[in-house]
Structures are given as C-alpha cells and as structure tokens.
Structure 1
C-alpha cells in the first residue's frame, strides 16, 4: 500500500515504506514537478500513475535534490521529463558507483523495475543560488545546498510558502554529513536565512514528516544548528539527547560517530 503523507489541491507528498523517504509532486497551471521519486518499484509506479492522471498535457519536470542512490532510482519512470539538479550532480564522476548501489539494492531484495535504471542526464543544471524556473502561475527558486552531499539542492516555492530540503531537517534523522562539516553549517544557516527573509511556512525533508508550520520548520533548523555547533566537542550528553529524540538512533549511531570525526578533522585542519 502506497502512503500519502500530505495532500492539498496542488501538492502531494508520498512516503515510502523505507526510511520514511519522501517524494513530492507539485502542480502548476502549465506544469507538474516531481521531486525525488523513490524507492520500491510499486511506489515509483504509484507516483508515475498519479502523474499520468493529473498531467493533462502539461510540461513535466523532474528535480533531484542530490544523487544518493535512493533519490535517483525512480528517474527512469519519467523519461520524457525535463530534468533539474545542481551542476555538481550533473558532472559527478561517480555515476557508475551510484548505479552499482541501485543494482546491489535491487539484487538484495529481488526487485525488478519496469523501466531502465540510469543516472539522469540533467537538462537544466543549477549553478548559482537564486536561479529560477519561471512557470505560468509561479516561480521556483533553487539554492545550492552542499554538506550532506556536495551536490545538494533546495527548492523554494514562495507562492506556496514551501521549501523542499532534500536530506536536511528531518524529524527522524539527525544531520548526516557525507560531504563537509563546514559546508553543512553554511547550508543550515542559508535555510534559516531563507525562512527569515521569505514568507515560508512549510518544509519537506527527504526523510521524515513535513513541517506544516513555520515554527516547526524553524525548530528543526535550530536543532540542526545546535547539533553542528556541539559536534566538534561531542560528549555522551549529545549522544543521549539523540537517543531520546530519534527512535531509530541505534541504527544511526555509527553515522553520529563519523560526523564527530569529520567535524574534528575539519576544525583541526583550519587551526
């Protein structure tokens, strides 16, 4: 059974059975925008079927917040879409590695997909903060968001008051730093600034539940910022806080330890 986490007249957020991963579909008057369609074949198929029922001749866009394999493995189900991601995503030198991760996942669970699995070619690469896609009734803005990965991307719809954040600001995960500690700090501060300067009221993370109010979104940002500030000097108190906050902490605690090492190494390198 495919889960719909949230829906209003122009926005639907799907939630996968795996890792509370979200896939977002946005409707504009002349376009449909799909963000990170994922995980299981029937889940991707449900997103595709929904898009087919609402597309009605409109332009189809497919946006990727980053190139972790779970965020791109549904790309092949939307071959006609105009694709959007960061320039770093487009020029990634580890494309084959990402495809191997998808293959390993599907082989492990005996999954077959009714579409070709491929690393997406990007038609509209995002190179600078504030780059825009002008649609008939609204404009999407894009912001570079490195830190979790080097190729991260934020999508902002000011008309809807919405930030689609990729793998940031989850309520089921603490920050996962796969790229750079310092870049992660700057990206969190960028998101905080976006909320302060714009009339944004909702936030969709890549994993977990959307924040439906400005207050909830800002609390998640403050938590991430506090976590990052404490990370280089992390002690058992921080680990205990994570354990109390996140039900699946035991499955993620190795990531917390890796975060500590990354933060400490970057701090030492700059001293």
Structure 2
C-alpha cells in the first residue's frame, strides 16, 4: 500500500517487515528503490511505474543486498541498476538468494519472474559518487555497518534522503557487519541532517518523516542503543529501552539484540 505520496515521490510499504519501496519520478527517469516484497505488492509497484513512466528510463537502486531488498528485481528486466561495488562482489549473494527462495517456499509464494541476484549496471565505488542523468543528480554515500555493502542516496533537488536500513522508527540498529562502520554511517547521516534541515527521510522499514526533530531523534535513538549495547547490555536494561523507545516487535527484537551482543563481544575479542 502507499504510505507517502507527493508529486514526485511515492512510497509503497509491504505487509512483510514494513519494507518500503520508494518510487521517484523526475523529468529524466523513474527511480525504484528496493522493490519488494510480496509478489502482488511487486506487481502493484510495477503497474504504477508503467503508468507514470512515459518514455523515461527506469532505474533500480538497491540500498544493500539483504534478500528482502532484492526480492522484486526480476519484475524489472528493462531497468538499469545501481548498487555498491561491495554489493556486486558480495560473498553472500548465494545466501541471500537461498533465503529468498526458502521463505517463498515456506509461505507458498509464487512469483511471475525468476529469482536471481541483481546484475548491476552502475557500480558505486567511492563515497560521495554521483550519477547524473539529464538534470537529475543522485549522490551516494557508503553506509556500512548493518551489512558491508550499503549505500545512502541523496537527491538534493528534492531534499530526499534514502537511508536503507538506518534510522527506522520501528527498529533499533541491526548490526550484521561492524560496529565502527555503523557509527561512521550515523556520522554521515548526522552531517547530512545538519546541512539540510528540510530533508525528507525514507528508511527501508517504518514511516517516512520530513520533520528535522524526528530525524534527529532517530539518530539519537540509534546512538543510545549502541551505548546501551556496549555499556548496559543486561536484559533488564534492554527491556527498559524497548519501553522507553516504544518498540513493539519484542520477540524478534530480543533475538536481534542477542545477535548484536554476540557480534560486539566477538569484535572486542
């Protein structure tokens, strides 16, 4: 379903994981970010893109390689693709596809397209790299930490920041790769928020916000969680944190917190 819409930006949200797919329409292109997740939802997004595209090219941008974010790739065979160099070289690409197939099998999901790992046309190799299509300029920043191949995207002409799996209002940080890199990504997000107080923040899960105070709260909440993890990781304190921040999906979040804690201890040692 559509949860956010302006003249140029439409955000669809899946029933699975509250995963957001962003569709950005400029005079030069239609940009689709992380198309997913359920087959009928992907079909709806594809129909919407076909309705608005006219003669503009379609670009798919993958914020990172987690299986839920690449699920709809096959529905856009005519699109040009964008992702990081690390995405292209990921040693986990087979694992991501196996996970996608596993959950499709588990829930009896049939897709109208083949499931495969995305082939990338435009590879982002450096922090701050831009793609320019006509008058549309998209700036990309490394966003490592959650995993090792993430990107942020900024379209300054629209005040639009697409943040991937960072700054969600329904999730604390899920860290699969590196704590130090996660902190670097938060620093990048803080700098972007400081420079532009009129940002529209689209995260991969949860709600869209254009309130500077809300964006800052999300940054602060992420920092608070990292502090808790490093200094006060007890179950009691974590449960208090969930209540304080109004997080709801307690069963899975307790598992994610334990995963984070295990990774933190491994990286310390």
Fold match, TM over 0.5? Answer: yes
After superposition, residues 112-191 of structure 1 pair within 5 angstroms as 112-191=110-189
Offset from partner CA, 1:114-156 (integer Å, 9 cap, x none): 1111100111111111111113333110011011110011011
Distance in 1, Cα, partners of 2:139 & 2:197: 14
Match of 1:53 in 2: 51
Match of 2:109 in 1: 111
| Structure 1 segments of 4+ aligned residues over 4 angstroms from their partners | none
Distance in 2, Cα, partners of 1:111 & 1:80: 23
Distance in 2, Cα, partners of 1:128 & 1:252: 33
- Secondary structure of 1:130's counterpart equals coil
Offset from partner CA, 1:25-82 (integer Å, 9 cap, x none): 0001010000000011000000000000011010110000011000001000001111
Match of 1:19 in 2: 17
Offset from partner CA, 1:210-231 (integer Å, 9 cap, x none): 1221221111011101211221
- Secondary structure of 1:117's counterpart equals coil
Gaps of 5+ in 1: none
TM-score where L is the length of structure 1: 0.94
Question: Using a 3 Å threshold, how does the CA distance of structure 1 residues 152 and 5 change in structure 2: closer, same or farther?
Answer: same
TM-score where L is the length of structure 2: 0.95
After superposition, residues 30-109 of structure 1 pair within 5 angstroms as 30-109=28-107
Given that residues 145 and 178 in structure 2 are in contact (C-alpha distance below 8 angstroms), is that contact kept between their aligned partners in structure 1?
yes
Match of 1:249 in 2: 250
Deviates more, 1:227-236 or 1:99-108: 227-236
Offset from partner CA, 1:163-193 (integer Å, 9 cap, x none): 1111111111111001111111111111111
Distance in 1, Cα, partners of 2:75 & 2:193: 33
Given that residues 161 and 199 in structure 1 are in contact (C-alpha distance below 8 angstroms), is that contact kept between their aligned partners in structure 2?
no
Given that residues 167 and 207 in structure 1 are in contact (C-alpha distance below 8 angstroms), is that contact kept between their aligned partners in structure 2?
yes
Distance in 1, Cα, partners of 2:149 & 2:6: 30
Offset from partner CA, 1:79-101 (integer Å, 9 cap, x none): 11110000000111222221111
Given that residues 232 and 264 in structure 1 are in contact (C-alpha distance below 8 angstroms), is that contact kept between their aligned partners in structure 2?
no
- Secondary structure of 1:209's counterpart equals coil
Q: CA RMSD of the aligned region, Å?
A: 1.3
